[in-house]
């Protein structure tokens, strides 16, 4: 019991320390480059927490990041690397927008849930393919999901050009009946694009937690993630669970796409390159140690730093520096072994005294 | 009295546990000194200190009369201490010579002088009667020979004090006899040996003196000639030990498992089970004796549905279970204690409580409509831990944190509690200490008494002889003979296992002929 509690404590502490180290090294870099780190971090803090508009925009950025992080974390619990969030997100985005435009005259209370469902199904289907290939033919999911990303990027672009093209290199706007935007939320955040999607994202986190920890499916997926051999010996169908896990992970990513379509932009643009949300999701999942609450916190931090870029720029600090800090945090999270080792040393030293 | 190694009053603490508590170990020049103790008694810690992997908190080490500080395995090497590890550290694709010189390559002008090295290896091999071909690749030689390569490795580096860590764990009876000869030869040639083991028979066969360690303390050092296995066992465990024997009357009932002409191929597409026939009846233990790799693993995998049967049939209580899904077979009443408890028996990162429902988590009362009832899971786990004496701080402790014996007890609790008609126990006591072995054997015999059918696969002939009602000898994927333990002995079994027929032919008892 004692050790378990201590382990949990360390597990939670490691990402926190990683973030602090990232910020510290970032500060050192700022000092070397001749900028004042206190000013820089202070301005980020002020912007994100004290300026309603930017607070709202931070949450807007956070919404798809949460879902993207959940997607990566969920797959990872089954021992799978979902590098394909980007592609699953794009097909989910397009599916939700297309559905919304096609059934524009349906009532809001029906249309929005259906749009989300369609996005989840589209993303899930996109995730199903690498899942199937992995389960049946042992094709490594990292390769297939990366390829599926490119297929998604260019196919969605082609479909928009062919069937849903509007001026400005994008689809037409979705109808109001499918919009998650809210005048109320916008007003209290100084006119930001804040929308009800935050509830969807938080619900997503609850769903992930529930699936993993309260259902037999979650038990199976976790068992397989830890030890596929023992799971097979115990009578679990490993192949089927790999497919299921990928489909559910894809579903989360698909809904992340719907957040962009129904909430942030109200359309889907023709993308020259990836959104980056899918890849950030990997970092968010890593930072959140693959737990639902951790992913929410990790997404909040990433979103805050991204909003912070604007304030840093206003101080004349190049926004590359924010990217460097984000990279540093990821670096320190990834080197959690190092932090853990140091913590253990401290613990031992304390015990000896 | 000249000691080649003296470890005086060694103490080593780990957080929360004193692994070595004032242990003194004195090894004479030219003797085989056994270090006997249960798993977790502190043998490995002591040897890791001697080998420079750990630093002692107190105490001193004297090698050949000189006080030394062994700060790394390299220092140990320079002092002439070599370790023959239990898990071989060899590169599969390299030759014997290449493996031996790895890390200490002789050079001539920037190139590795493989020729000189090969000659040196050959000479050493001859001197100590190791019979190793320096040019063979590791993957092409037997486990026994791989171990001899490990021995050569230490000799090549000039070791004259050799530590053998549980050397017989992976060997066949024949290979064990060979190893004993080699150890005696090494001592004759002036080497000294420390033998770490918990097998009493080996100590009696090979060691001169024996130091017994229990719970981090040195209990005694005795001359092997003046002691006996029972005394050693009680010193090791700290109480009298009853060697379990199957004594209940043999009253087999209906056939539970019936295998007819089963053929299985392995991953290399080689036929490893070849038209095998076998029956196991209710109320009996059938032991499968055989040299490792004669189809035992694949046979079990086929019965449990983990591997496809190419042809033939498997019946459980007259129901055809050939190539049925694993879960279906489990539900029909097959329990399986797998050979590799870490890889196949447990999810080590799961709590011990979660591991207790690894096969039943989806059924009431543990789950309804796909939703888990964690209270019931915990209740169940708590009961099993109590009933089967699984020592764990709590049911929330990860299985990884338990000792091997307690992990195995947990698996056995889980499998027996499902009350299967057929229980397959594969190497159920491998690597366990005497206390745990005793417990597990009792449980197996208890199941037999309850009228269950038990299929026991073990490389330990003692275990097979003591527990089985009938012994099926497997060779090259076939059951080549069926004997009663009362009518055979280890030597005969050893011969049968290597493919020799019994005198007078295999006319009786062979399952195929029944």
Q: Do B349 and A227 touch (CB under 8 A)?
A: yes
Same domain (yes/no): B318, B366: no
**Has residue B243 been placed in a domain?**
no
Cβ count within 10 A of residue A349: 9
Token duo for residue B230: 């029972």
B332 with B319: CB under 8 angstroms? yes
Kindly state the average pLDDT of the residues B159-168: 90
The partner residue sitting opposite B15, judged by closest CB among A229, A236, A348, is A348
Indicate the range of A201-205, A333-337, B341-345 predicted with least confidence.
Answer: A333-337
Residue A329 has pLDDT above 90, yes or no: no
For chain B, the distance separating the N- and C-terminal CA atoms, rounded to the nearest angstrom, is 64
Question: What pLDDT is stored for residue A6 in this prediction?
Answer: 58
Residue A133 has pLDDT above 50, yes or no: yes
Distance from A239 to chain B by nearest Cα, in Å?
Answer: 13
Same domain (yes/no): B77, B117: yes
Question: What pLDDT is stored for residue B391 in this prediction?
Answer: 86
The interaxial angle of helices B490-497 and B173-188, nearest 10 deg, is 110
For chain B positions 193-212, those within 8 Å of chain A (CB to CB) are none
**Has residue B245 been placed in a domain?**
no
Distance from B263 to chain A by nearest Cα, in Å?
Answer: 21
What's the CA gap between A34 and A17, in Å, rounded? 25
Helices (H) and strands (E) in chain B, counts: 16, 24
**Has residue B437 been placed in a domain?**
yes
Question: What pLDDT is stored for residue A168 in this prediction?
Answer: 85
Instruction: Give me the domain span that covers residue B376.
Output: 339-418
- CA-based nearest residue to B381, from B394, B371, B372: B394
For chain B positions 1-20, those within 8 Å of chain A (CB to CB) are 15
**What's the CATH number where B494 sits?**
3.40.50.300
A contacts of B336 (beta carbons < 8 Å): 233
**Has residue B246 been placed in a domain?**
no
Token duo for residue B106: 């002789």
Residue B17 has pLDDT above 90, yes or no: no
Sign of CA dihedral B89, B94, B99, B105: negative
What is the ipTM metric for this complex? 0.83
Band of pLDDT at residue B447, cut at 50, 70 and 90: very high
Same domain (yes/no): B320, B362: no
Q: Do A232 and B326 touch (CB under 8 A)?
A: yes
Q: Do A223 and B347 touch (CB under 8 A)?
A: yes
The partner residue sitting opposite B372, judged by closest CB among A216, A223, A226, is A216
For chain B positions 384-443, those within 8 Å of chain A (CB to CB) are 393-394, 396-398, 401
- CA-based nearest residue to B217, from B242, B235, B198: B235
Kindly state the average pLDDT of the residues B155-170: 88
Q: Do B397 and A4 touch (CB under 8 A)?
A: yes
The verdict on B361 touching A (C-beta cutoff 8 Å) is yes
DSSP string, B457-480: E-S-HHHHHHH-SEEEEEETTEEE
Question: What pLDDT is stored for residue B446 in this prediction?
Answer: 92
Give residue-wise pLDDT tens across range A276-307.
999 999 989 988 889 999 999 999 998 998 88
Q: Do B372 and A230 touch (CB under 8 A)?
A: no
B511 with B279: CB under 8 angstroms? yes
Domain boundary among B402, B418, B434: B418
B39 with B86: CB under 8 angstroms? no
Band of pLDDT at residue A336, cut at 50, 70 and 90: confident
What's the CA gap between B122 and B262, in Å, rounded? 44
Give residue-wise pLDDT tens across range A194-227.
999 999 999 999 999 999 999 999 999 999 999 9
Q: Do B325 and A237 touch (CB under 8 A)?
A: yes
A contacts of B372 (beta carbons < 8 Å): 214-216, 218-219
The verdict on B348 touching A (C-beta cutoff 8 Å) is yes
Give the residue carrying structure tokens 């984000």.
Answer: A326
Same domain (yes/no): B318, B395: no
A contacts of B362 (beta carbons < 8 Å): 216, 220
The verdict on A338 touching B (C-beta cutoff 8 Å) is no
- CA-based nearest residue to B329, from B303, B355, B298: B303
Domain boundary among B237, B269, B293: B237
Give residue-wise pLDDT tens across range B381-424.
999 999 998 888 889 989 988 888 889 999 999 999 999 999 99
Give kind and range of the element (H or E) at residue B256: strand B255-265
Same domain (yes/no): B70, B216: yes
The verdict on A234 touching B (C-beta cutoff 8 Å) is yes
Same domain (yes/no): B451, B502: yes
The verdict on B354 touching A (C-beta cutoff 8 Å) is yes
**Has residue B454 been placed in a domain?**
yes
- Cα B48 from chain centroid? 21
Query: Which of A3, A222, A234 should one mutate to test binding to chain B, selecting the residue with the greatest count of B CBs within 10 A?
Result: A234
Nearest residue in A to B362, CA atom: A216
What's the CA gap between A211 and A209, in Å, rounded? 6
Give the residue carrying structure tokens 């737990």.
Answer: A291
Residue B508 has pLDDT above 70, yes or no: no
- Alpha-helical (H) ranges within B238-282 are none
Distance from B399 to chain A by nearest Cα, in Å?
Answer: 12
Same domain (yes/no): B221, B360: no
DSSP state of B107: E
* Cα dihedral B204, B207, B211, B215 in deg (nearest 10): -60
Q: Do A233 and B367 touch (CB under 8 A)?
A: no
Residue B242 has pLDDT above 60, yes or no: yes
Band of pLDDT at residue B1, cut at 50, 70 and 90: low
Torsions phi, psi for B84 (to 5 deg): -100, 105
Q: Do A226 and B348 touch (CB under 8 A)?
A: yes
A contacts of B348 (beta carbons < 8 Å): 226-227
What is chain B's length?
514
Three-class DSSP category at B71:
coil
Same domain (yes/no): B361, B443: no
The verdict on A211 touching B (C-beta cutoff 8 Å) is no
Domain coordinates of chain A in residue numbers? 66-293
Torsions phi, psi for B118 (to 5 deg): -60, -40
Question: Each residue of B220-239: b (16+ CB within 10 Å) or e?
Answer: ebbebeebeeeebbebbbee
Band of pLDDT at residue A315, cut at 50, 70 and 90: confident
Q: Do A234 and B359 touch (CB under 8 A)?
A: yes
Question: What pLDDT is stored for residue A140 in this prediction?
Answer: 93
Give kind and range of the element (H or E) at residue B68: strand B66-68
Kindly state the average pLDDT of the residues A236-256: 96
Give the residue carrying structure tokens 């253990």.
Answer: A344
Q: Do B372 and A237 touch (CB under 8 A)?
A: no
The partner residue sitting opposite A223, judged by closest CB among B325, B358, B370, is B358
The verdict on A1 touching B (C-beta cutoff 8 Å) is yes
Strand order in the sheet with B58-63: B17-28, B3-14, B58-63, B66-68
- Alpha-helical (H) ranges within chain A are 2-32, 37-45, 52-77, 85-102, 108-137, 141-163, 183-188, 197-214, 216-226, 228-233, 238-258, 277-287, 292-314, 320-334, 336-352
Question: What pLDDT is stored for residue B418 in this prediction?
Answer: 93
Nearest residue in B to A349, CA atom: B15
Residue A348 has pLDDT above 70, yes or no: no
Same domain (yes/no): B435, B403: no
B39 with B197: CB under 8 angstroms? no
Question: What pLDDT is stored for residue A268 in this prediction?
Answer: 95
pLDDT above 90: percentage of residues in chain B: 58
Q: Is the peptide bond before A159 cis (omega within 30 degrees of 0)?
A: no
Three-class DSSP category at B351:
strand
Band of pLDDT at residue A110, cut at 50, 70 and 90: very high
Question: What pLDDT is stored for residue B469 in this prediction?
Answer: 94
Domain boundary among B395, B418, B441: B418
Question: Domain count of chain B?
Answer: 3
Distance from B167 to chain A by nearest Cα, in Å?
Answer: 28
Same domain (yes/no): B144, B219: yes
Q: Which residues lie across from B6 on neighbouring strands? A: B26, B62
More confident residue, A216 or B112: A216
Nearest residue in A to B415, CA atom: A234
- CA-based nearest residue to A145, from A165, A129, A158: A129
Q: Do A4 and B338 touch (CB under 8 A)?
A: no
Question: What pLDDT is stored for residue A352 in this prediction?
Answer: 41
């Amino acid at each position: 019991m004692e050790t378990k509690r201590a382990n949990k404590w360390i597990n939670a502490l490691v990402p926190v320390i990683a973030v602090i180290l990232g910020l510290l090294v970032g500060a050192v870099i700022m000092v070397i480059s001749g900028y004042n780190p206190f000013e820089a971090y202070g301005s980020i803090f002020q912007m994100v927490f004290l300026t309603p508009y930017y607070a709202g925009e931070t949450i807007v950025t956070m919404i798809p990041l949460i879902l993207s992080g959940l997607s990566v974390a969920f797959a990872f619990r089954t021992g799978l690397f979902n590098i394909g969030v980007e592609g699953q997100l794009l097909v989910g985005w397009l599916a939700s927008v297309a559905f919304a435009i096609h059934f524009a005259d349906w009532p809001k209370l029906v249309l929005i849930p259906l749009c989300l469902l369609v996005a989840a199904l589209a993303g899930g289907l996109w995730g199903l393919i690498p899942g199937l290939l992995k389960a049946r033919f042992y094709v490594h999911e990292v390769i297939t999901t990366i390829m599926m990303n490119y297929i998604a990027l260019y196919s969605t672009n082609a479909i928009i050009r062919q069937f849903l093209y509007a001026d400005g290199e994008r689809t037409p706007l979705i109808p109001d009946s499918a919009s998650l935007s809210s005048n109320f939320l916008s007003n209290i955040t100084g006119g930001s694009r804040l929308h009800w999607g935050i509830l969807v994202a938080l619900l997503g986190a609850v769903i992930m937690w529930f699936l993993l920890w309260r259902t037999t499916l979650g038990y199976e997926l976790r068992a397989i993630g830890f030890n596929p051999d023992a799971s097979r010996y115990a009578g679990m169908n490993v192949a089927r669970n790999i497919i299921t896990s990928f489909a559910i992970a894809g579903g989360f990513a698909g809904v992340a796409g719907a957040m962009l379509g129904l909430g942030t932009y109200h359309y889907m643009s023709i993308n020259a390159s990836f959104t980056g949300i899918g890849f950030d999701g990997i970092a968010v999942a890593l930072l959140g140690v693959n737990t639902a609450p951790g992913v929410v916190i990790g997404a909040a931090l990433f979103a805050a730093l991204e909003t912070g870029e604007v304030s840093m720029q206003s101080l004349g600090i190049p926004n590359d520096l924010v990217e460097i800090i984000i990279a540093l945090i990821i670096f320190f999270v990834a080197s959690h072994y190092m932090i853990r080792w140091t913590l253990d040393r401290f613990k031992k030293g304390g015990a000896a005294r | 009295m000249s000691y080649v190694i003296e470890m005086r009053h060694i103490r080593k603490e780990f957080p929360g546990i004193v692994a070595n508590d004032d242990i003194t170990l004195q090894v004479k020049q030219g003797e085989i000194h056994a270090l006997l103790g249960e798993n977790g008694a502190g043998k490995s810690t002591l040897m890791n200190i001697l080998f420079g992997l750990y630093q002692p908190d107190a105490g001193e080490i004297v090698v050949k009369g000189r006080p030394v500080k062994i700060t790394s395995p390299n220092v140990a090497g320079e002092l002439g201490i070599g370790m023959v590890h239990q898990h071989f550290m060899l590169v599969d694709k390299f030759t014997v010579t290449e493996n031996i010189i790895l890390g200490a390559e002789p050079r001539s002008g920037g190139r590795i002088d493989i020729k000189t090295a090969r000659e040196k290896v050959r000479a050493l091999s001859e001197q100590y009667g190791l019979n190793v071909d320096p040019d063979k690749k590791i993957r092409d030689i037997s486990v026994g020979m791989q171990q001899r390569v490990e021995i050569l490795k230490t000799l090549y580096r000039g070791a004259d004090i050799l530590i053998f860590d549980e050397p017989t764990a992976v060997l066949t009876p024949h290979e064990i006899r060979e190893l004993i000869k080699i150890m005696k030869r090494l001592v004759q040639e002036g080497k000294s040996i420390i033998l770490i083991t918990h097998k009493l028979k080996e100590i009696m066969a090979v060691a001169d003196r024996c130091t017994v360690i229990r719970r981090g303390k040195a209990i005694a050092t005795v001359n092997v000639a003046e002691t006996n296995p029972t005394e050693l066992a009680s010193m090791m465990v700290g109480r009298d030990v009853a060697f379990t024997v199957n004594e209940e009357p043999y009253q087999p009932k209906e056939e539970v498992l019936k295998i007819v002409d089963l053929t299985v191929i392995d991953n290399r597409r080689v036929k490893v089970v070849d038209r095998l026939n076998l029956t196991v009846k209710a109320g009996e233990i059938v032991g499968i004796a055989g040299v490792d790799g004669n189809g035992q693993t694949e046979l079990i995998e086929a019965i449990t549905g983990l591997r496809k049967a190419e042809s033939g049939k498997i019946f459980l209580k007259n129901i055809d279970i050939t190539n049925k899904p694993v879960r279906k077979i489990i539900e029909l009443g097959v329990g399986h204690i797998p050979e590799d408890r870490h890889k196949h028996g447990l999810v080590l990162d799961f709590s011990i409580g979660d591991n207790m429902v690894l096969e039943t988590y989806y059924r009431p009362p543990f789950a309804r409509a796909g939703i888990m009832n964690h209270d019931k899971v915990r209740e169940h786990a708590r009961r099993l831990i109590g009933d089967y004496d699984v020592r764990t701080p709590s049911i929330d402790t990860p299985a990884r944190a338990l000792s091997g014996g307690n992990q195995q007890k947990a698996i056995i609790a889980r499998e027996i509690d499902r009350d299967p008609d057929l229980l397959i126990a594969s190497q159920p006591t491998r690597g366990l200490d005497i206390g745990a072995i005793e417990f597990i054997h009792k449980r197996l015999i208890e199941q037999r008494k309850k009228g269950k059918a038990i299929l026991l696969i073990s490389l330990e002939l003692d275990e097979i002889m003591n527990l089985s009602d009938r012994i099926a000898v497997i060779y090259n994927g076939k059951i080549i003979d069926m004997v009663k333990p009362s009518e055979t002995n280890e030597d005969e079994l050893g011969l049968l296992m290597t493919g020799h027929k019994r005198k007078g032919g295999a006319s009786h008892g062979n399952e195929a002929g029944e």
